[in-house]
A and B are shown apart, each in its own frame.
Chain A
Amino acid sequence: MVVFALFVISKAGGLIYNREFHTGMSKLSSNDYLMLAGSFHGMHAITKQLCPAPPVAADKANSTLAPSPFINRASGLEVLETSHFRMQCFQTQTGVKFLLFTEPQQPNMDAMVKKIYELYADYVMKNPFYTVEMPIRCEKFDRGLDGFVKVRS
């Protein structure tokens, strides 16, 4: 099982975190990474609009919780598979996107992305020195990811 890389894209479509877990991967220039993130952001927004059957509104009488404004939205692109890699996209309620690149046969990617989201919530959002929408430079987040990926592979 190989995890190649992780991208985090902000609500506005900027690349705020870019990390490679594997050596010997083909490199892009930093500008290319930014463009890639921006293009994916746009493509994700388009796939959201493409939904052929609009989701029906949930029955209000059935739900005990306050109706969520997100429940009826189409999710947009979630998985992208090619012959050499598989990309899982997870979008949080606030619009931050996590892109995880792995080998095509990687199982349990959902759980992995959820765990990464947990690490993000702990070590980035609870860090007093992090400003939202800015590039993530948090030592503990890096360390947490390292530990997590090492255990998996």
Chain B
Amino acid sequence: MSTNPSQTPGLRYPTNKKTIYDRNLNRSKNAELSRAAFAYLFIEMISYAQKKVRDVNDLEKRLNTQGYPLGAKLLTLLTSPARCHTACLGPTRILPLLQFIAQTLWRHLFARPADSLERSTTSPSDYLLYDNDPLVNQYISLPRELSQLNCAAFVAGIIEGVCDSAGFATESVSAHTVSEQGGGEGVVKGNELWPGKTVFLIKFKPEVVEREEILARGGG
């Protein structure tokens, strides 16, 4: 029931003529959301993803898929001229891209930067991003039969979305709980302090790494 029949369908105009497009993008910059509300929403997202899944990998893949479009949109939002006054082009090299994810994106989503960023020593196309206590896992305790699962796969999906839409195609981005067995004494201690420590493994496609090497040689 529209009061004005000549109105164009699709976009509805509120009475004050201010659509969602007229709103300032910075409006939500420092806005805070209820953590409990997110926790309950995330419960439903997980139960939705759990329907008709065969195994843990399948479930993580579904959570990843739920995060992917968010990443693509967040890149646009966080690099929009309304947000950043200086370089609005978005990251053009791998390292600035990862810095952007670890700092800007993490601050926007979780109000703090990621804990550390490393390049894999075994494979040059892999990067490791650590979060000591992912916000999405804050209230989650895994049952024994799903101990391999890490629900931060959702965040991995967001990272994948950002990388892909920034023009850095990825093979995959996955979230893993840092295992307690691996490493020496120091690692074990770190695990006691941060039992939920999660690593995001970002695998770039070979052509991205190749392009990066060419750019590095060119001195860019």
Contact residue among A128, A138, A143 (Cβ-Cβ distance under 8 Å from B43): A128
Contact B141 A123 (CB under 8 A): yes
A residues less than 8 Å from B139 (CB atoms): 122-123, 126-127, 140
Q: Which of A109-153 contact B (CB under 8 A)?
A: 122-123, 126-130, 137-141, 143
In the bound complex, what is the Cα–Cα distance between A122 and B146 (angstroms)?
20
Q: Which of B36-50 contact A (CB under 8 A)?
A: 36, 39-40, 42-43, 46-47
A residues less than 8 Å from B47 (CB atoms): 128
B residues less than 8 Å from A138 (CB atoms): 141
Contact residue among A122, A126, A129 (Cβ-Cβ distance under 8 Å from B142): A129
Consensus secondary structure, chain B interface: helix
In the bound complex, what is the Cα–Cα distance between A2 and B69 (angstroms)?
52
Q: Which chain B residue has the least Cβ–Cβ distance from A136?
A: B141
Q: How many residues of A contact B (CB 8 A)?
A: 13
Contact residue among B36, B39, B143 (Cβ-Cβ distance under 8 Å from A129): B143
In the bound complex, what is the Cα–Cα distance between A122 and B40 (angstroms)?
10
Contact A128 B195 (CB under 8 A): no
Q: Would A139 and B36 be within 8 Å (CB), given that A126-B43, A128-B46, A128-B47 are in contact?
A: no
Contact A127 B195 (CB under 8 A): no
Contact residue among B36, B141, B144 (Cβ-Cβ distance under 8 Å from A127): B141
Asked if B151 CB lies within 8 Å of chain A CBs, one says: yes
B49 to chain A, nearest CB (A): 10
Mark each residue of chain B from 121 to 165: 1 if its CB lies under 8 Å from any CB of chain A, else 0.
Answer: 000000000000000000111111010000100000000000000
B residues less than 8 Å from A130 (CB atoms): 141
Contact A126 B40 (CB under 8 A): yes
In the bound complex, what is the Cα–Cα distance between A122 and B36 (angstroms)?
8
Q: Which chain A residue has the least Cβ–Cβ distance from B39?
A: A126
B residues less than 8 Å from A137 (CB atoms): 141, 143-144
In the bound complex, what is the Cα–Cα distance between A1 and B194 (angstroms)?
29
In the bound complex, what is the Cα–Cα distance between A122 and B47 (angstroms)?
18
B residues less than 8 Å from A139 (CB atoms): 141-142
Contact A129 B40 (CB under 8 A): no
Q: Which chain B residue has the least Cβ–Cβ distance from A140?
A: B141
Contact residue among B46, B140, B146 (Cβ-Cβ distance under 8 Å from A140): B140
A residues less than 8 Å from B142 (CB atoms): 129, 139
In the bound complex, what is the Cα–Cα distance between A127 and B195 (angstroms)?
16
Given contacts A123-B139, A126-B36, 18 further A-B contacts (CB under 8 A): A122-B139, A126-B40, A126-B43, A126-B139, A127-B43, A127-B139, A127-B140, A127-B141, A128-B43, A128-B140, A128-B151, A129-B140, A129-B141, A129-B142, A138-B141, A139-B142, A140-B139, A141-B141
Q: Which residues of B contact A (CB under 8 A)?
A: 36, 39-40, 42-43, 46-47, 139-144, 146, 151, 195
Could you list 10 A-B pairs, sorted by A, with CB under 8 Å?
Answer: A122-B139, A123-B139, A126-B40, A126-B43, A127-B43, A129-B140, A129-B146, A137-B141, A137-B144, A139-B142
Q: Which residues of A contact B (CB under 8 A)?
A: 122-123, 126-130, 137-141, 143
